[in-house]
Every structure is written in structure tokens, then in C-alpha cells.
């Protein structure tokens, strides 16, 4: 196993342990903490359109945040995993979710045109770990590294959809224990602008 696989394994184990040992009240408190931090970030940025994810298996719980967003007129885009390890996106409508290829709930609505995340104000993305420099370790298929590479940078719009818009702000959502000193890094890894945990929102320089 390489360094990335070892760190993923450790984090997968810690998440499973948390799910197995916490009480229902603790799970509700964890969910409420993530909702509070995610809501604070969204309001702070004034984000009107957010690309998010539907949590599964020990991930930070985004369900109440997604409900809050719809209740407050914030559009939510959700991903569907494609066989070539890229994501397509659909606007979320309340209740319109069905399990995808990995058992993760996915939106059932029509796919948005490619490059859709460039039209979001904020991307909230899953991760296994994030380090103090903003480098992110994902779950090993490169879905989000490809997504962030397609977003490009502020200098050159990566797509027609992005032209004339600022690059969306990108935050990873992880447990506080998953913010580490340094994650193993490769050339294709894309950094994030910040990280949201159950305790706080950090913006990286």
C-alpha cells in the first residue's frame, strides 16, 4: 500500500468506528454542527448556487444543510458518478435521489451541461483528509481532481460556462481529525480554498 492508500485506510477505519460507537444524540449533534458551519460559510460568501454532495457511510452529514439551502432559495447541484471516473451534475429537487453505482444517493433530474460546476459560487467536496496547505486527499478514483482540473484557474476560463465568472470557491468537508499536517501529494492533485469541519471553517491563504 502506498502512503495515500494507508491514510485512506486509517480514515475509513476511524469513520467506521465513529459511526459504530456514537449515540443517536451524538450523531444528531454532529449533523447540527456541520449544518451550522456549512450554513455560516454559505451566508458569508453570499453563495446562491452550491455544488454539494450527499453523505454516506460516516461522512460529514450534509442532509440538513441541503434542506436549509433549498428552504433559503440557494440552488444545490449534486453529482452522478460516471464509468470514466468523471462527474455529471444535476440540480437537486427535494426528495429526487436514488442510489448510484457506489450506493451513494444521486440526483434523478436531467444532467446539466458539462462545465456546470463553473457556474456555482461554491463547491463543497468530500475528502479523506486535507492538510494545512490546502492539499486534499480524495477516495482514489480522481473524480474531484478531474473536476477541479476542469474548473481551471482564475487566469483562463476553462469553459464557456465559466467565461465572465469568478472561479467558484472550493471547500472540502471533513471531520476535524482529518485536517492533518501534510497529505501525500502528486502532480495532478488540486488544492482547495478552505475546509469545513464540525468545529470550524478554515480559509487557506
Ligand X SMILES: Nc1ncnc2c1ncn2[C@@H]1O[C@H](COP(=O)(O)OP(=O)(O)OP(=O)(O)O)[C@@H](O)[C@H]1O
Ligand Y SMILES: Nc1nc2c(c(=O)[nH]1)N(C=O)[C@@H](CNc1ccc(C(=O)N[C@@H](CCC(=O)O)C(=O)O)cc1)CN2
Contact residues toward ligand Y (CB under 6 A) are 53-56, 59, 79, 81, 87, 102, 104, 126, 138-141, 143-144
36 close to 68: Cβ distance less than 8 angstroms: no
Q: Is 57 a known ligand-binding residue?
A: no
119 close to 164: Cβ distance less than 8 angstroms: no
Is residue 13 part of the contact set for ligand X (CB under 6 A)?
no
- Report the sign of the C-alpha dihedral through residues 127, 175, 108, 45, in that order: negative
91 binds, among ligand X, ligand Y, none (CB under 5 to 8 A by kind): none
168 binds, among ligand Y, ligand X, none (CB under 5 to 8 A by kind): none
Shortest Cβ distance from residue 43 to ligand Y (Å)?
23
Q: Is 142 a known ligand-binding residue?
A: yes
Of all residues in the shown chain, the one whose CB is closest to ligand X is: 138
- Interface residue with ligand X, options 39, 91, 139, 158 (CB under 6 A): 139
Q: State the distance between the two ends of the chain, measured CA to CA, in whole angstroms.
A: 32
Spatial strand order of the sheet with 75-81 comes to 87-91, 75-81, 49-51, 122-126, 169-173, 194-196, 201-203
DSSP string of 102-170, one letter each residue:
TS-EEE-SPPPPTTGGGG-SEEEEE-SEEETTS-EE-SSS-HHHHHHHHHB-SSSBSSTTTTTSPPPEE
Q: Would you say 22 or 141 has its CB closer to ligand Y?
A: 141
Cell of 110: 436531467
Site string for ligand X, 146-165 (x = CB under 6 A): x--x----------------
Q: Would you say 157 or 191 has its CB closer to ligand X?
A: 191
Stretch that binds ligand X, among 19-27, 29-37, 138-146, 159-167 (CB under 6 A): 138-146
Shortest Cβ distance from residue 65 to ligand X (Å)?
20
- C-alpha 170/C-alpha 48 separation (Å) is 14
Residues in binding site for ATP: 4-8, 136-144
Amino acid at each position: 500500500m502506498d502512503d495515500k492508500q494507508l491514510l485512506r485506510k486509517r480514515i475509513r477505519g476511524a469513520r467506521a468506528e465513529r459511526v459504530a460507537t456514537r449515540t443517536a444524540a451524538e450523531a444528531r449533534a454532529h449533523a447540527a454542527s456541520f449544518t451550522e458551519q456549512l450554513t455560516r460559510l454559505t451566508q458569508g460568501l453570499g453563495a446562491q448556487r452550491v455544488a454539494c454532495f450527499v453523505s454516506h457511510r460516516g461522512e460529514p452529514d450534509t442532509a440538513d444543510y441541503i434542506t436549509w439551502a433549498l428552504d433559503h432559495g440557494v440552488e444545490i447541484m449534486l453529482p452522478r458518478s460516471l464509468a470514466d471516473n468523471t462527474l455529471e451534475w444535476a440540480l437537486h429537487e427535494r426528495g429526487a435521489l436514488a442510489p448510484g453505482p457506489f450506493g451513494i444517493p444521486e440526483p434523478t433530474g436531467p444532467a446539466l451541461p458539462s462545465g456546470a460546476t463553473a457556474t456555482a459560487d461554491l463547491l463543497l467536496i468530500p475528502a479523506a483528509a486535507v492538510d494545512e496547505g490546502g492539499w486534499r486527499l480524495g477516495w482514489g478514483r480522481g473524480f474531484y481532481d478531474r473536476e477541479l482540473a476542469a474548473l481551471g484557474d482564475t487566469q483562463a476560463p476553462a469553459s464557456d460556462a465559466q467565461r465572465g465568472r469568478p472561479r467558484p470557491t472550493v471547500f472540502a468537508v471533513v471531520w476535524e481529525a482529518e485536517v492533518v499536517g501534510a497529505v501525500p501529494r502528486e502532480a495532478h492533485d488540486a488544492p482547495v480554498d478552505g475546509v469545513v469541519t464540525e468545529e470550524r471553517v478554515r480559509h487557506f491563504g
